[in-house]
Chains A and B, each alone.
Chain A
Amino acid sequence: MQIRAQLNDRILYVEIDGEIDQHSATRARQTADRYADDYAMRSEKAVFDLQNVSFMDSTGIGFLIGRYKKFMRYGIPVYLTNPSTATDRILQMSGVYTLMPKI
């Protein structure tokens, strides 16, 4: 899993590429949290773009909620966008969108 961040007009776009599972999430956590630390003061919201997530299981739910908590500590709300059908189903059934709305 690769994570890239880009700040545009005080919106932090976090793009996630590849497969989210237990193995890949371990390292990706640190990368994502570093973006939160680095960009928090200059952003007012974060948008996680899931377009290139090719696989995700329930580890992804914990991963996304963990990042949500991290950003919320800086008072920055997180939104999700472009999930695949399979990813969308998992996010919907677990209620993730009530924390991080889909836009």
Chain B
Amino acid sequence: MQNYMKLEIAARSENESFARNAVAAFALCLAPSLSELSDIKTAVSEAVTNAIVHAYGKKDEGAIAIACTAEPYFAEKSGEITGGVLHIEITDQGCGIEDVQRALLPFFTTLAGEERSGMGFTVMQTFCDGFSVESERGKGTRVRLKKKIGGDHFQLPSADTSACEGALIGLEREDVNAG
């Protein structure tokens, strides 16, 4: 059976650090590099923060579900795990997103007055290898992230920023639901 982890947290900002570090700790089973771990933490933090800030608004209630599965890659000779693919799902039952296509645009935010930059979804897409959002108004939002671990086997684009644009084009956008 595939390795997995599931957890549920209260949608409170003090859980942000716990959430991203819990996912990073689970990801250790795929032997990630420090920079891959850092990417995972950043992307998870974006999705969890969105659920806290946008999904449930000012209400001090609501839950966030985080589910991860790990698809390991085994080295041919030693049989050791040397990487793989981490799938992350972050789900809330909050207000939902009115127009997903628009929400994905860089710098689009509905909370400009609260020092939001509208870059969260762009950061998730740049720091992961697969990304999709499903959202229904009044029902909630689910963000799916995919991160490949072990650059050698997968020939990831280099981490320098000039690669960001290229990375954005190669996204799995087909299952993005316009709501």
A binding-site residues for B, Cβ under 8 Å: 19, 21-23, 25-26, 29, 55-59, 61-63, 65-66, 85-86, 88-90, 92-94
Contact = CB atoms under 8 A, between A and B. Distances in A.
Nearest to B53: A22
A58 B126 contact: no
B16 interface: yes
Describe B's contact surface by its main secondary structure: helix
Contacts of B45: 21, 55, 57
Interface of B: 13-14, 16-17, 20, 35, 38-39, 41-42, 45-46, 49, 52-53, 106, 114-117, 119-120, 122-123, 126, 159, 161, 164
Given A62-B116, A66-B115, 17 more contacts: A21-B16, A21-B17, A21-B45, A21-B49, A22-B52, A22-B53, A57-B120, A58-B119, A58-B123, A61-B119, A62-B117, A89-B126, A89-B159, A90-B119, A90-B123, A93-B119, A93-B164
Q: Which 5 A-B pairs have the closest CB atoms?
A: A62-B115, A23-B13, A61-B117, A57-B45, A66-B115
Given A22-B53, A62-B115, A86 B16 contact: no
Describe A's contact surface by its main secondary structure: helix
Contacts, number: 75
Contacts of A89: 126, 159, 161, 164
Nearest to B111: A62
B158 to A, nearest CB: 12
A29 B13 CA distance: 16
B35 A85 contact: yes
A86 B119 CA distance: 15
B117 A65 contact: yes
